[in-house]
Amino acid sequence: EKGEPSRLGLKELKLDATAPLSLLHPDGLNDPLDLVLAAQQLTLGDQKLDAVNVGLKGSPAQHHLSVGGRMGKDRLQVRLDGALSLPRSEPVYRATLDTVDLSGRTSVRLIDPAPMVLTANQLTLDDFSLSALGGRVNLKRLLLDWTGPLKYETVGQLDGLTPLELHQLLGLDGQRELEVLQGVRSRGQWQLRGQGADALYGDIRMSIYEQASAGQKKRLGLRADNGALIRFDGRKLDGKARLDIPSIELLNLFAGPDMAFDGSLHVDGTVTGTLDSPLVDLALRGNELSVLQRSAGMRLSGGTLDARLDSQGLRLKQLRFSAGKGSLLLQGAARLVDRGDPKQAEARQKTAWAALMEQSVKNVGKPPSLLPMEGAFDVTLDHFLVPVGPGQRVTISGATRLTSNHVGLILAGDMAVDEGLIELQGSSAPTLPNDVKVTGEQIPQDQPETAGTEQSLRIASDLVVKMGDKLKINGMGVEARLGGSVQVRGFLPAEPALVGLVKIAEGSYQAYGQNLQFTKGRIRFNGPVDNPSLDMEAKRPFVPVDVGLSITGTAQNPQVALYSRPSMSENDKLSWLVLGVPAEEAGGGAQALALQQAGSLLLGGNDGVRGPSIAERLGLDVLNYGYASDASAQAGVQNTMTPKGVASGSSTDSSAAETGVVSLGKRINDRLFVSYEKGVRGVWNLLRIQYTLGKGYVFRAQSGTENSVDILRSRTFD
């Protein structure tokens, strides 16, 4: 617990020692010295050593010391030959480090023996060279003097160190993306001296570069002039830094499999100030930046960056991307802040959030994410292409602002849809049967949230989105243009809420061979994104009556019904909708069965979706077998697309009434319909062209067994 001292734990300890009574007496320097210490499961606080072994053999004047330890996969072995002398001035201990060997997750080895001298007030170590991290570290000199305030002096250099060697220590073992670091190396040198924490003199030079085998291309393109130089003059700092990265592919290490970055980045800046208050001023410039989000299919390209990072925080002059024919521009500034005790900061945030929402603290609910950052960023979109799905697109324009303050993360602004096409999908997505197993590379899937799971980001939203007049939807028989506006509230990205009205400005719905026209379409949102209220009507055009479908209720519980003006029976409504004639004129068992099936599909579920008929597979609207069509005026007013039998008052001879015919028909557009009838026996044949003029008027011309040209008008009464 906090405030309690760390506890020392020891499972097993063995000690076997032989030593003179006085190590610091000249007469005891040559006495035998033999020490063996073995400890198991040594713990100190959270640290745990599996085993520690110490061996000392010889005499104080000449001896050999070995120290070994094991912690998990790591093993350390240190050996030295030492000698203690007792001149009149002070004791002196001289040793030669023979072995320093660390193995396990990484490897560190002493290259050559290194001399060390230890007195009562001073430690010196010279030519201490290690092989580490694929390179070499050479500590030419280390001097520590604690006679008074601590004095120090160190000179050294390093070369060829490989960051990739750190992957096991950092727990990144096995990630293929680390291959991008394969050729990255670092080098540096330092020369420092000082006294205490108030005075430091000298300089440090560090650089990173990339090497490649003959015939191979550098992955990142790093040159040897990347690095930093910092000079220390007492407490003052004076330094420069430069980093030129031709490819930022390195960011993919931290982005996960769904994201990919590329482009070039140049960093140039200075380091000034003091040891206590260093001042960093870095200019960041990027070119040809690109971002790919695989799951959404979003690709940003042609990016440019102009930003500055200093003691005041991050100032983003511009971060601009292209997407399709549009663009995205990000500008703003932010700085890190200390919000103090987390619990107190959350309490202050909840009070501020309640005041903003004009609610009590008890009823306000969970506020947005609170970050240790104060600032705002403006996002400007100009015909920005937003991915919706394969073959779909939506472009938007507008301005929004993302703010981070004591209330939390808030996104507000106004957006407008310039144009778009959204494909409607079926309600049931295909799934693999249980006995099918997919092998190969696994695509990361969204994991279901469990109780208590916290969202990584929670952004309060206050966005207004206007649909414009060029947003179209297509699919499942619907082809329409949307209008209206909605307000995006709630919390992004996991808990959005919509408030507003989306209108179907114009459109049609293909059903049962008919092209129904939307006369009313209102989709009203008042919270949940997936359950708006519906108020829609679609009617069959160019028939003497108004008949069609009405959809009310909600998206999760829609209510589908037939409507007509003037009012009529359900059978007549369905007959007018499907066949274009009243029920008494439909005639025949085939038409009755068709009406039953249509009504079942339309009002009985299965999303009103049926499989394509033979006529539809052949590209026809009508393929029927029946009797020859009536050529009379009364029958002709109807959209005659099916053979119904000859009326008693017709001039056609009686044998024709019993003639079985095959009827083929195709609707060229909403007004023009062409059909052809051929008798199975006899000489009956008829080509008919019918054009709806509107308001009950129909022009009809037919040629064949009967020839006529008619302009017909019909009226329907209750």
**What DSSP line would sit under 326-346, residue for residue?**
EEEEEEEEEEE----SHHHHH
CA dihedral 172→174→176→182, nearest 10 degrees, is 70
Is the model's pLDDT at 374 over the cut of 50? yes
109, 100 in Cβ contact below 8 A? yes
Burial of 559 by CB count in 10 Å (0-12 exposed, 13-18 middle, 19+ buried)?
Answer: exposed
Torsion of CA 487, 491, 493, 494, to 10 degrees: -120
pTM attached to this predicted model: 0.67
Cβ-proximal residues to 267 (8 Å cutoff; 6+ apart), any chain: 241, 242, 243, 244, 245, 282, 283, 284
Span 132-147, average pLDDT: 91
pLDDT-based confidence at residue 634 (cuts at 50, 70, 90): very low
pLDDT (tens digit, 9 = 90+) per residue, 57-95? 988 889 999 999 998 888 999 999 999 888 777 889 999
Kindly state the tokens that stand for 538.
């679609």
Cα(244)–Cα(134) distance, rounded to whole angstroms? 24
Are the CB atoms for 599 and 606 separated by under 8 Å? no
> Could you identify the residue written with the tokens 């297509």?
474
SS3 content of the chain, % helix, strand, coil (to 5): 10, 55, 35
Name the token pair of 343: 């619990």
Instruction: Classify residue 538 by burial, with Cβ atoms within 10 Å: 0-12, 13-18, 19+.
Output: buried
**What integer pLDDT is reported at residue 330 of this predicted model?**
96
What is the structure's pLDDT at 109?
93
**Cα–Cα distance measured from residue 681 to residue 679, given in angstroms and rounded to the nearest whole number:** 5
Of 254, 249, 256, residue with least CA distance to 288:
249
Direct distance between the N- and C-terminal alpha carbons of the chain, in angstroms, rounded to an integer = 88
Taking residues 433-446, report their average pLDDT: 58
Q: Is a pLDDT exceeding 50 seen at residue 657?
A: no
Highest mean pLDDT among 295-309, 402-416, 486-500: 402-416
Mean pLDDT of 390-416: 90
Q: What is the DSSP letter of 616?
A: H
> Helix 570-578 and helix 589-603: axis angle, to 10°?
100
* CA distances to 229, 235, 542 from 275, in Å: 15, 6, 86
Q: What is the pLDDT of residues 122-131, one digit of tens each?
A: 999 999 999 9
Which helix (H) or strand (E) segment holds residue 602: the answer is helix 589-603
- If you write DSSP's letter for every residue of 477-544 in order, what string do you get? TEEEEEEEEEEEEEEETTEEEEEEEEEEEEEEEEETTEEEEEEEEEEEEEE-TT--EEEEEEE-SSSS
Separation of alpha carbons 268 and 282, rounded Å = 6
Say if strands 459-466 and 408-423 run parallel, antiparallel, or are unpaired.
parallel
Give the per-residue pLDDT at 126. Answer: 94
| Residue 579 contacts residue 599 (beta carbons within 8 Å) | no
**How far is residue 370's CA from residue 112's CA, in Å, rounded to a whole number?**
54
SS3 category, 185: strand
Which among 615, 581, 609 is positioned nearest to 595, based on CA atoms? 581
For position 639, what pLDDT does the model report?
41
| 584 vs 314 pLDDT, higher one | 314
Q: Of the given ranges (271-275, 305-309, 632-636), which has the lowest mean pLDDT?
A: 632-636
For residue 7, give the nearest of 39, 55, 47 by alpha carbon. Answer: 47
Contact present, 71 and 46 (Cβ < 8 Å): no
Q: Which conformational region is residue 484 in: left (phi greater than 0), alpha (psi within -120 to 50 degrees), or beta?
A: left
Name which of 523, 485, 489, 486 is nearest 504 in CA terms.
Answer: 523
B/e letters for 628-657, b = 16+ CB within 10 Å, e = fewer, are bbbbbeebbbbbbbbbbbbeeebebeeebe
Type and span of the H or E element at 712 = strand 708-713
pLDDT above 60: residue 668: yes
Strand pairing category for 685-694 and 697-704 = antiparallel
Task: Classify each residue of 435-473 as buried b or exposed e, where b means 16 or more C-beta atoms within 10 Å of its C-beta.
Answer: eeeeeeeeeeeeeeeeeeeeeeebbbbebbbbbbeebbb
What is the percentage of the chain residues whose pLDDT exceeds 70? 76
List, for residues 156-201, the tens digit of each pLDDT value.
999 988 877 766 555 555 455 566 677 788 889 999 999 876 789 9
The pLDDT confidence band at residue 556, using thresholds 50, 70 and 90, is confident
**Separation between Cα atoms, residue 300 and residue 323, nearest integer Å:** 5
Higher pLDDT, 496 or 218: 496
Helices within 289-440 (DSSP H only): 342-357
According to the model, what pLDDT value does residue 531 have? Answer: 87
